[in-house]
Amino acid sequence: MGEKVRLGIIICDRYRTCAGGKCLRALRNREGAFERYRGMEVELAGFATCSGCPGGNVEYVPQEMKKNGAEIVHLATGMVVGYPPCPRIGYFSRFIREKYGMEVVVGTHPIPQNYYTTHSRLGSWEGASWKDIIAPTLTDEKTRLAYD
């Protein structure tokens, strides 16, 4: 393996009981937003919720992750696929970059096909900014189906 990267994951509080299975599988398989780490050693330095709207934990959790060696924070795919998608994704990304100087990636595991179908019908991700936001986790239909 090449270089080692340490990252943290922040999930939407709606999914606070999530065991992280899809995120961890995608990390192990380097799928979705984790595809960028192919050929690299990755260490998970933190996993936490945003603490619920308006995301108060986002103010403090990145600092703890950084103390544990995280260089990159992933805002979990659940923030993108929830109903409705998190309206604060852009703000969280800017805040973490500005306050902690950390890179932020929106997404973890590939978007499951059932969410992709419903959000496409709802028009949730219309607009250039949403296309950019979902790009790292969109993948192909076969992979999306594997995450249903």
**pLDDT confidence of residue 128:** 86
b/e code 28-50 from CB counts within 10 Å (16+ = b): eeebbbbeebeeeebebbbbbbb
**pLDDT confidence of residue 27:** 98
What confidence category does residue 127 fall into, taking pLDDT thresholds of 50, 70 and 90? confident
Q: What average pLDDT does the structure give for the chain?
A: 95
93-118 mean pLDDT: 98
List the beta bridge partners of residue 73: 8, 104
pTM to 2 decimals?
A: 0.95
Give how many domains the chain has, as a whole number: 1
CATH number of the domain that 35 lies in?
3.40.50
How far, in Å, CA of 85 to CA of 145, rounded?
Answer: 20
How far, in Å, CA of 41 to CA of 147, rounded?
Answer: 23
- The 10s digit of each residue's pLDDT in 16-73 is 999 999 999 999 999 999 999 999 999 999 999 999 999 999 999 999 999 999 999 9
Find the domain containing 48 and state its range.
4-146
